[in-house]
Structure 1
Amino acid sequence: MTSKADFYVLPSTDPDARGRFLCRLVEKIRALGHEIFIQTRDESEAQRIDQLLWEYRPESFIPHSLLSESDNAGVKIGWDAERPAHQDVYVNLDLEIPDDALKFDRILEIVVQSEDILTATRSNYKLYQTNSVQIDMHDMRKKS
């Protein structure tokens, strides 16, 4: 059962802001020694995230691969019901959160100011509450 869910609320309305923030977040979490699974909506988005991680900061290297590729990368990207062997960190870039994601130790949601993403993450928030998951909000919007 998930012990913690973190919501990172970005000020941007641009869905690509999620990908840029994801790269920074993944780099930090990997530096702490965690394994990460990134769930995307579909194969096309998985390939886009794969490319973003390759292009992220020239001085940085984040070993990653698509879940369908058989290697030992610490970051795996998937788009269907297949999951990695570990249950460490689950990054949800899909709209809905599947029930089996609650088996991961930690879930991360990256929120931009887009109606479909806001609606979906509100629904996911309620699911976490219902399942007694500790929720931490990280509001990255500027305070007025």
Structure 2
Amino acid sequence: MALATFYLLDDTHTDPQRCMVEKAGQLSALFSQQGMKVYISANDKSQAESVDEYLWQQSPDNFVAHNLVGEGPRGGAQVEIGWAGVRHTGHRNVLINLSEEAAIFAPSFAQVVDFVPCDETLKQQARERYKIYRMAGRQMRTLAIDDMS
């Protein structure tokens, strides 16, 4: 069964956007080590570039092969980073959604990762994404942002 995992941010995270970018980077490394191909869907190109920069700043021992959509090898690297209006290349196992909207292409992924910020407006948008994934028949799971799985 397809899985959707939501990570809950709490009030201790002073920069929730940075926290989500870092968690997306950590999870993409974990999934790629397991041989999975990952697509990170950013809210916009600027956020996608932040994820790209975060991944480049990791130590060589923790390097994750990645690229922004339109760059890199044909078919994309192990981890591909995009934003609204661009399309990932090829089959991917995991979608890490940083966007405020549910990805309309999410059904093509075996696993979806999403985030719930503390801001009430963003929290409500996350609830709507949660409902969409649940109605699509995904097994739902919720974890604190600091939990690694």
Alpha-carbon contact 1:46-1:66 (below 8 Å) kept:
yes
TM-score by length of 1: 0.87
Unpaired segments of 5 or more residues in structure 2? none
Residue 96 of structure 2 aligns to which amino acid in structure 1? V
Residue 125 of structure 2 aligns to which amino acid in structure 1? A
Q: List aligned pairs for 1:88-103, cutoff 5 A.
A: 88-103=93-108
Report how far residue 58 of structure 1 moved: 5.0
Distance 1:113-1:131 versus aligned 2 partners, 3 A rule: same
Q: Which has the higher contact order (CA 8 A, sep 6+)?
A: 1
Alpha-carbon contact 1:17-1:112 (below 8 Å) kept:
no
Q: How many residues align?
A: 141
CA RMSD of aligned residues (A): 2.0
Q: List aligned pairs for 1:56-95, cutoff 5 A.
A: 56-71=58-73, 72-79=76-83, 80-95=85-100
Q: Which residue of 2 aligns with 1:3?
A: 2
Alpha-carbon contact 2:66-2:78 (below 8 Å) kept:
yes
Residue 9 of structure 2 aligns to which amino acid in structure 1? L
Distance 1:70-1:58 versus aligned 2 partners, 3 A rule: closer
**Identical aligned pairs, as a percentage?**
28
Q: Which residue of 1 aligns with 2:133?
A: 128
Q: Which residue of 2 aligns with 1:109?
A: 114
TM-score by length of 2: 0.84
* Segments of 4+ moved more than 3 angstroms: none
Report how far residue 59 of structure 1 moved: 3.3
Q: Which residue of 2 aligns with 1:47?
A: 49
Report how far residue 28 of structure 1 moved: 1.1
